Amino acid sequence: MTIEDQHTDLKSLRTVTGKTADWESLAKDCVCFANGAGGRLLIGIEDGETLPPTGQVVPAEVLDRLRKRIGELTVNVQALPSLQQATNGGEFIELVIERSPSVASTRDGRYFLRVGDSCQPVLGDDVLRLANERPGRPWEVMDSGVLRAAIDTDKLGQFVQGIRASGRVKDSVKEKSADELLTHYGLAQGRTLTRLGILLLGTTADRRALGTAPLVQAIKYDEQGQKINKWVWDDCALSPVELVDAIWREVPDFRESYEVAEGLYRRSVPAYDEKVVRELLVNSLVHRPYTQQGDIYLNLHPGRLEVVNPGRLPLGVTPRNILHASRRRNEGLARVFHDLGLMEREGSGFDLIYDRLLSQGRPAPLPEEGVDWFKVTIQRRIVKPEVMRLLTEADARFQLTQRERIALGILAQTEGMTARELGALLETDGADELAGWLGRLQTFALVQSTGRTQGTRYFVDPALLLGAELKIPTTLLRIEPHRLLELIREDLRRYPRSKIGEISGRIGAEVNRSQLKRALAELVSLGAVAMEGERNGARYRLAVEK
Instruction: Give the span between the Cα atoms of 210 and 162, in whole angstroms.
Output: 25
Instruction: Give the span between the Cα atoms of 215 and 239, in whole angstroms.
Output: 10
Higher pLDDT, 73 or 399: 73
Mean pLDDT rounded to a whole number for the chain: 87
pLDDT at residue 267 tops 80:
no
Place 478 in a pLDDT band, splitting at 50, 70 and 90.
low
pLDDT of residue 546: 42
Residue 465 φ then ψ, to 5°: -75, -20
List, in order of start, the domains of the chain with CATH numbers: 8-132 (3.30.950.30), 139-210 (no CATH), 216-328+340-379 (3.30.565.60), 391-471 (1.10.10.10), 475-542 (1.10.10.10)
pLDDT in tens, 65-115: 999 999 999 999 999 999 999 988 999 999 999 988 889 999 999 999 987
pLDDT of residue 346: 59
pLDDT at residue 472 tops 60:
no
pLDDT of residue 145: 93
Strand order in the sheet with 188-189: 143-147, 192-194, 188-189
pLDDT at residue 510 tops 70:
no
pLDDT of residue 1: 43
> Which of 367-381, 447-461, 472-486 is predicted most confidently?
367-381
The DSSP secondary structure of 270-325, one letter per residue, reads ESS-HHHHHHHHHHHHHHS-TTS---EEEEEETTEEEEEEES-PPTT--TTTTTT-
Place 381 in a pLDDT band, splitting at 50, 70 and 90.
confident
**How large is the average pLDDT for residues 315-337?**
83
Q: Of 439-443, 479-483, 528-532, which range is least confident?
A: 479-483
Q: Of 20-34, 306-320, 453-467, which range is least confident?
A: 453-467
pLDDT of residue 277: 95
pLDDT at residue 474 tops 70:
no
CB of 427 closer than 8 Å to CB of 323 = yes
Instruction: Give the span between the Cα atoms of 152 and 204, in whole angstroms.
Output: 9
Query: With left for phi above 0 and alpha for psi between -120 and 50, is residue 513 left, alpha or beta?
Result: alpha
Residue 207 φ then ψ, to 5°: -70, -40
**How large is the average pLDDT for residues 427-445?**
84
Indicate the pTM of the whole model: 0.74
Share of the chain above pLDDT 90, in %: 47
pLDDT of residue 97: 94
Q: Of 39-48, 229-238, 256-265, 426-435, which range is least confident?
A: 256-265
Instruction: Give the span between the Cα atoms of 274 and 270, in whole angstroms.
Output: 8
* CA dihedral of 87, 89, 93, 94, whole degrees rounded to 10: 10
> Which of 13-17, 100-104, 204-208, 254-258 is predicted most confidently?
204-208
